[in-house]
Structure 1
Amino acid sequence: MRASIAAFFRRIDPLAVLSISIPFAVYILTLAPSVTFFDSGEFITAIDSLGTAHSPGYPFFINYAKPFTWLPFGNIAFRVNIATAVSASIACYGVYLLVCYLIAADNRFRQRETVPIFVHGCALAAALVFAYSARLWLQSNHDKPYPLVSFLVAIVFYLLFRWRDLYDQGTEAPRYIYLGCFICGLATGAHQTIVLLIPSFAWLILAKNWRLVARVKELLLAVAFAILGFSIQLHMPIRATQNPLLNWGDSKTLEQFLWNILRKGYPSEPPDRDLHLLWQQLSAFNIPHEFTWIGVFLLAVGLLTSLGKNKDLVIAYVIGVICSLLVIVGYFNAQAELIFLTEEFFTPLYLLTAVFIGLGFWFLLRHGLATLRANQLKSLPVMLLVALFLLILPVTICAINYYENDQHENYVAFDYATNTFRSLPQGAVLFTWGDSGAFPLWYLQGVERMRTDLDLLHTPHLVFTWYLDSFPELFRYSMLRSLPGALNSAEDALKIAVAEQIERRPVFIDFSTRYSLPFPEYGLQQQGICYRLIKGGAGRVYAPDVAVWDLYSPRGYLSQMGFRDLDTGKAILIYASSRMEAGELLLRLGMRTEGIEQLRAAAVISPDLRFQVEGLLNAYGAGQ
């Protein structure tokens, strides 16, 4: 027994363990401690309730992350963030596995027992380069499905390499293809961008023998396994029958299921594209930004030196890049302000890029060591030089991206949501407009059970029957149900919903709603970062309730957290703009001391507003 245990541990590759544990350690150090902006609150709420997130639902990601909510420490958001850190870490192992396999298949260099150390060292360096790339690291420190997709992509490539090698040896092993097809189907439940790499997978198979496409039985079996993996999508209609807390699209019927999975809830008009916009869209795939120009050089070396034995892999990589750009840039044609969202879709391509960087490391190291004898390769100076050569790039990339990806003090979204709650009286209804304003509130109320007395209504969803069904007490007899959805804009729906609710309870809107739609028929009183609508108060000016600021946690806008992403910066600006708006109104109403205090506070929260604040103070004769 003791001997078998020792043999088991001897078989463990320590550098493979490091390819997972080193990234994971850094990810944990930089992990967001709670909910963040963008889709975070919505994903966590869906995961905790085993529900359905926004289209296309993400059922595999939700089921993957659910067990992490059972961890005995931290809040639910932190536990789900750990799930993403784990998936990002095993994606790094995917790079390690592929580099080791590809180098081992290259028999041009044999240096006896010391070779595995250098082979595995190159693979570890490539894994760490990928680990600390800006995109993967950003996705690792809070809930994101893309690292999980990247890991699955790596496994499919590995399976296809195994199949190809056995095929070259005259052995038929279709089980590898069947398993790869199953994983591809499963991966659609993490993110549908997996389909962008299917042409690359197909190339690796058909490049061996184009006649394989005529094997109808095996082709049907491959499709069957893909459908079996795709059956993870049944999570949505099955769970919809249980009415989970978050049931986006309510996929109980085939019509709603297809509406959800085909993303029909996102109608948009693509912009007219000019060369400048096209360049911005293409620049979303940015290898120099992810890996530095040294990484680009190593990528070029890896690609060029792979044109021999691994030519089909190079072609598969090029096919993947072309297909991704044709769909993401060509078909999606994202508007300028939404291009940052498409950057996330390229993560699997960056994984393949890191694999070629590892092969570039290997080529340079192989030629650098070719003149040395075996005993020289074992010497300490050579080992140290090799370690320095392999680690300098990942350490550099880590240093470049650490500040931007260090989220361990990021409580901005959490505090923004809790401060919003503190703005609202018992039993109020709040209308939000924008995912980042709504989703943290959903998480805190639905998962952490804060302020369950409130109704939180997201304006863009008021046009959907499935959303109205999730608030039966509010909308059972609403006029919104009698209007054709296609003719009912979110603005019109908001007006109707407000008119119905304001008869019964306090009605509030958030900052984004306040500046998205005018409300001339109501009075408007500012309460911190929210606004109360007052029936019959049209035309009247109401002094802002500044006392609510004393209830707020200032950590969310006065903390010294480092890098702030787009929506985090917007939240800080909303705090400052709300203070500045309140200060100007108070000065206009003759409340000089209170107005000056609010304006000064705005300048402290956002120094960028300092000149505007000074301009307002001077305009009212309150400047220094």
Structure 2
Amino acid sequence: MKSNYKLVNNALGWVAFVIAAITYLLTIEPTTSLWDCGEFITTAYGLEVGHPPGAPLFMIMARFFALFAPSPSEAALMVNVMSALASAFTILFLFWTITHLAKKLVDKNEELSKGNLFAIMGTGMVGALAYTFSDTFWFSAVEGEVYALSSLFTAIVFWAILKWEDVAHEKHANRWIILIAYLMGLSIGVHLLNLLAIPAIVFVYYFKKHEPTRNGIIAAGAIAVAILGVVMYGVIPGVVKVASWFELMFVNGFGLPYNTGVMVYAVLLISFVIWAINYTIKKNYVILNTIVTVFMVIVIGYSSFAMIVIRSSANPPMDENNPDNVFALLSYLNREQYGDRPLMFGEYYNAPAVDLVETKPNYIQKNNKYVIASRKQKYEFDPRFETLFPRMYSSRDNHVREYEFWGDVKKNNPIALGNGEVVYKPSFGSNLQFFFKYQVGWMYWRYFMWNFVGRQNDIQGHGGILHGNWVSGIPFIDRAKVGNEDKLYPELKNKKSRNNYFFLPFILGLIGLIYQFRSGKKGKQNFSVVMLLFFFTGLAIVVYLNQYPHQPRERDYAYAGSFYAFAIWIGFGVMGLYQTLKKKMPEVLSAGLITGLCLVAVPGLMAQQNWDDHDRSGRYATLAYAKNYLNSCAPNAILFTYGDNDTFPLWYAQEVEGIRRDIRIVNLSLLAGDWYINQMRNKAYDSDPIPMSFGPEKIEPGKRDQVPILERLEGEESLKQMLDFVASDNKASKVEMQTGRKLDYFPGRNVYIPVDSAKVVNNGTVRPEDAHLIKKKLDWKIKRNYLYKNDIMVYDIIASNNWERPIYFSVGMGASSFLGLEKYFQLEGAAYRLVPIESKSNSLEIGRIDTDILYDNFMNKFEFGRIKEADVYMDQFHILTINIMSFRSNYGRLASQLNDEGQTGKAVKVLDRCMEELPTSKIPYDNSLVGFIQEYYRADAIDKANALFEEMAQQCYDKLDYYFSLQPALAKSFRNEQEREIRVVQMLLGLAEMGEQTDLKDKTQQKFELLFKSYAE
């Protein structure tokens, strides 16, 4: 039977692989996805440099897969295929891991019975397939991101240490340890999550080599944490850090060319390792030889980062942080651009800063030396406001409000400052309450329950009852958590991302956990190993990340390793049930019965519930969104963007698919870096260099990072004059500027840009028929007290451009990024064009509209990536992130303007296309549809207006019926929502009256009066 075991185990492992591979290949996104996917696919396709700390091995492997793409438009598909196959291989190794652990509990060096064999295979299949269809892992498996490949490395190294365990006493068993070290070195070039398997690996080694004792377990734990720390904080940055010392000595000290020190260091390091290996072999120092070899193979795997330096030195169009020398690489690896967060000791969110100190130097290459351009700065805080284990540290207003809510902060600990101000210090109890309720409860446990109990919906939640909670599908349990769902309105009740597992995967996992723990000495040891993997890839990450509230997205992908460990216990649940049932019926029958029931009740149920919202196979929305941005712009335009999601998809469209390469995308958040500013000076594809007056020496690190804006007594100055002053190196001016003294010339609030009216008409910035609207100058007031480097550079680009190239701002960025220029914007689709025509702007409607341009773009150029099709699911992040609501609102604006101009036929066509491409069956109702009803009435499309009126009135009715049905305490928390729906109803009634639809108005009014009356009673 043992020989049969190996055959069956291998065969069924590959069956699990095939099931997973088919699932993921059928549901992968056919093009790029949101968030970092566009950037990762772009860097892979062109071997370019992405954001820190980089993922060079992912880039190399994805490039290999992209080589098989028949055309550039299918490169993203092939990278997604790589993720799908990597995820399927993860399932393969998970199956073999589970069966390996299960066999050890039933195989007592005797012949395996058929019942035990079937039970072991059932254990592996149920656990592996449960993870296959789990929410978090499936999400990462179908997109071109690093997490699928990272999961594969974790699965292989955990499986490999179990293989070592089988042969630990054989002569060459340590080769498995070397393999694990090499794989971990490679995994650094994908993601660091794989390293969190180290503690579990150490304990497998300990249990195999030593008889467990209390002190031994404590020592093994300390060694495990030490190894993890050495790799993460020693080897990874340390190898490059030491290289920087050599480089500085040889270049600055000896006057040799750049990179001499790095090459000398590399030769010395390689020579030392070779000598150490030979020496330990001669002396038969097995453990020391293994340690040296482990270090060597980690560094060999880690050497994939050489690709980052090599490609950065080639200056590709995408070269984030420009890590082309050892100092830039060290900063890149340490993710220094993202700042630090306190972990074990630090400040509370309201800690007063007492000093600003300089820390690490910023080196740049200059005059054949490495010169300190500036030093990084760090605030020191009032020690009375510092604490151990700081969890509430961010001082942003929206974060502070959430800290005080989740931590239930009481203002009962006043501390007087030197200036007489009194500040209330949060208690350590509130600090811990925030940690347990938000960081553990909301940002980990909720995600865990999503995967094994059920998920309410995919709308990001921040603690309320409607969005992002876990639910089970068992009414009396869910009611206490998310309120009265019998009355839940259809928009949420019928959402495909509402998945209920009725606690079945969770319960089976608990059974498996208990069974493994109670399965004798060996079971307890293996339980400890799985628990370590579960802890370090779960709660330990919670502690390390120290997340602030209102994260920009859900972060469940960070804990996939923890869910992997729990899937092992789900598998063991089968074995636990089998051991109980076989006492009452034949082994083979009980094994088959339990396996079959568990396959249906857990992975079968999870697959059925999750398929519709994890199937991305027909969705092209992200690519369509990128095309809409680019096609909104005139030729050779400069397009300012801000966030990841209004930049990365555009990079993908340009770099991979070659769409609109004449446009230069300028990301405002990156524009704070000197490396990015300097890259904008280069030609990229069909896009000319960006004009700037500030030379490279003016924007070096530490220079003009922040410039104060002061009130002038009178008058205004041209933007060019203001920038000339900011660029001035006159020391007296700097002192006067910093002290706030009034100067004849300083950065004032009132600035202007002159306009050459003939030029802007001739180059198409303004149409000839609008020439009479052109202003002689664009004047505005800077409302900020400071301008940061990226703000200054936006102004410099605009001033230096001198109306030569079209300049656009993304509709997706916040109004603060418009820098006061929004009254000179013209909406042309997914971007606002800067034009010398003033218009009234407010928070709802920014800029003017040229109906001819906007109509052509909306009706002839815009694509929507099959959003309207029945097989396409639009998750909430797509709805919000790709500005669908903004597009719908702007279609309404265009229709309104067309009606004003008497072009009612065109207005109806505009409204119809938007309703067709963005149907309410896919995109939720919002207030912009009130404007649609109004414009339908104005265009005399009465039937269409009435139909939409009735749909929207019913939507308001359903929402109000739900809000009113809640218990008083909960209903009170929805008061704003209730008032909003009532205002919408009032607007609808007003529109019916405007459209002379008396019967419709009366019927609707009576319906709502009855609703209000029923709850009033």
Amino acid paired to 1:287? F
Q: CA deviation at 1:366?
A: 3.4
Report the CA distance between 1:398 and its aligned residue: 0.6
In the alignment, which of 281, 287, 298 is matched to residue 439 of structure 2? 281
Query: Cα deviation per residue 1:29-74 (whole Å; 9 max; x = unaligned)?
Result: 1111111211111111011112232211111211222221122547
- What does residue 878 of structure 2 align with? 568
- Partner Cα distance (1:459, 1:581) in 2: 27
Partner of 2:647: helix, strand, or coil?
Answer: helix
Does structure 2 conserve the Cα–Cα contact (< 8 Å) formed by 1:415 and 1:555? yes
Q: Residue 548 in 1 paired to residue 857 in 2?
A: yes
Number of the residue aligned with 2:200: 200
Any idea what SS the aligned residue of 1:512 has?
coil
State the Cα distance separating 1:472 from its structure 2 match: 2.8
- Alignment counterpart, residue 596 of structure 2, candidates 374, 387, 395: 387
TM-score of the pair, normalised by structure 2? 0.56
1:348-383 CA deviation, whole Å, 9 max, x = no partner?
Answer: 221111112112212212332355557xx2x7x974
The alignment status of 1:222 with 2:272, answered yes or no, reads no
- Describe how 1:462-477 pairs up with structure 2 within 5 A: 462-473=671-682, 474-475=689-690, 477=692
The structure whose residues are more often strand, as a share, is 2
Does residue 306 (structure 1) correspond to residue 516 (structure 2)? The answer is yes
Compare 315-324 and 250-259 and name the one that shifted more: 315-324
1:88 aligned partner: 87
CA distance in 1, matches of 2:106, 2:592: 22
Residue 95 of structure 1: CA displacement? 1.0
Secondary structure of the residue that 1:62 maps to in structure 2?
helix
Aligned to 2:653: 444
**Identity percentage over the alignment?**
21
3-state SS of 1:37 partner: coil
Q: Could you give the per-residue CA deviations for residues 233-291 of structure 1, whole angstroms, max 9, x where no partner exists? A: 22211222233443222211112112221112223773443536643432333333212
- Distance apart, 1:192 and its partner CA: 1.6
Say which SS state the counterpart of residue 189 (structure 1) adopts: coil
Q: Which moved more, 1:145-154 or 1:218-227?
A: 218-227
Q: Does the CA contact (< 8 Å) of 1:520 and 1:538 recur in 2?
A: no
Aligned amino acid, residue 200 of structure 1:
A
Shift of 1:553: 2.3
Q: SS of the residue aligned with 1:435?
A: coil
Alignment of 1:10-29 (within 5 A): 13-29=10-26
SS in 2 for 1:531: strand
Q: 1:495 to 1:564 in 2, by over 3 A?
A: farther
Q: 1:365 to 1:478 in 2, by over 3 A?
A: farther
- Pick from 812, 816, 834 the counterpart of residue 533 of structure 1: 834
Higher mean displacement: 590-599 or 67-76: 590-599
Which deviates the most, 257-266 or 486-495? 486-495
Verify the 8 A CA contact 2:533 2:565 in the aligned structure 1: no
Matches within 5 A, 1:163-242: 163-167=164-168, 173-207=173-207, 208-209=209-210, 210=216, 215-242=287-314
Q: 2:610 aligns with which of 401, 411, 415?
A: 401
- Tell me how far apart the structure 1 counterparts of residues 591 and 293 of structure 2 sit (CA, whole Å): 51
Say whether 1:338 aligns with 2:559: no
Partner of 2:471: none
Higher helix share: 1
Query: Which shifted more, 133-142 or 108-117?
Result: 108-117
Aligned twin of 2:889: 577
The DSSP-based 3-state class of the residue aligned with 1:436 is coil
SS in 1 for 2:798: helix
**Structure with bigger gyration radius:** 2
**1:566-622 deviations in Å (ceiling 9; x for gaps):** 431122223213223444566678877766765676666364455444268368996
Matches of residues 9-408 of structure 1 in structure 2 within 5 Å? 13-73=10-70, 75-107=74-106, 111-113=112-114, 115-167=116-168, 173-207=173-207, 208-209=209-210, 210=216, 215-267=287-339, 270=394, 271-272=399-400, 273-274=403-404, 275=406, 278=435, 279-282=437-440, 283-285=442-444, 286-292=447-453, 293-307=503-517, 308=520, 309-325=522-538, 328-338=541-551, 340-373=553-586, 377=588, 383=592, 386-408=595-617
1:479 is aligned, of 676, 683, 694, to: 694
Q: Any conservation in 2 of the 1:178–1:225 contact (CA below 8 Å)?
A: yes
Q: Counterpart amino acid of 2:564?
A: L
Equivalent-residue separation in structure 1 for 2:545 and 2:116 (angstroms): 46
- What is the DSSP-based 3-state SS (H/G/I as helix, E as strand, rest coil) of the residue aligned with 2:645? helix
Residues in 1 aligned to 2:161 and 2:855: alpha-carbon distance in whole angstroms: 63
For 1:158 and 1:554, how far apart are their aligned partners in 2?
A: 44
Shift of residue 556, structure 1, vs aligned partner: 5.1
Alignment partner of 1:415: what SS?
helix
Q: If the length of structure 1 is used for normalisation, what is the TM-score?
A: 0.88
The reply on whether 1:417 has 2:621 as its aligned counterpart is no
Summarize the Cα distance change of 1:59–1:156 in structure 2 as closer, same or farther, 3 Å threshold: same
1:240 partner amino acid: S
Shift of residue 504 of structure 1?
1.9
| 1-structure distance, mates of 2:657, 2:797 | 27
Letter paired with 2:801: Q
Shift of 1:502: 5.2
Q: Does 1:512 align with 2:821?
A: no
Shift of 1:27: 1.1
CA contact (8 A) 2:123 2:595 kept: no
Q: How many residues align?
A: 612
- Describe the superposition over 1:70-116 as per-residue Cα deviations: whole angstroms up to 9, x where unpaired: 22547111111101000110111121010111122223576534543
Name the structure 1 match of 2:249: none
One-letter amino acid of the counterpart of residue 930, structure 2? E
Summarize deviations over 1:412-449 as a string: whole Å, max 9, x none. Answer: 11111112222122211211121111111111111111
C-alpha distance in 2 between matches for 1:387 and 1:614: 53
Contact map agreement 2:840 2:848 (CA 8 A) in 1: no
**2:638 corresponding residue in structure 1:** 429
Structure 2 partner of 1:3: none
Supply the AA of the counterpart residue of 2:78: R
CA distance in 2, matches of 1:595, 1:495: 37
CA contact (8 A) 1:49 1:245 kept: no
User: Partners in 1 of 2:537 and 2:295 — Cα distance?
Assistant: 22
Long gaps (5+) in structure 2: 211-215, 224-285, 341-392, 408-433, 454-502, 683-688, 707-787, 842-846, 935-986, 998-1017
Q: Which moved more, 1:305-314 or 1:428-437?
A: 305-314
Distance 1:175 1:385, change over 3 A: closer
Stretch moving more, 311-320 or 445-454 = 311-320
Moved more, 70-79 or 53-62: 70-79
Quick one: distance in 1 between partners of 2:814 and 2:189?
36
**Change in 2 beyond 3 A, CA 1:384/1:539:** closer
Instruction: Give 3-state SS (helix, strand or coil) of 2:825's partner.
Output: strand
Q: Which residue of 2 aligns with 1:4?
A: none
Task: Give the Cα separation in 1 of the matches to 2:82 and 2:802.
Answer: 42
Provide the C-alpha distance between the structure 2 equivalents of 1:549 and 1:582, rounded to a whole number of angstroms. Answer: 9
Structure 1: stretches of 5+ with no match in the other structure: 1-6
Structure 2 distance, partners of 1:578, 1:485, is 38
Structure 1 residues 596-605 or 330-339, which shifts more? 596-605
Structure 1 window deviating more from structure 2 (532-541 vs 522-531): it is 532-541
For 2:132 and 2:658, the matched residues in 1 are separated by 35
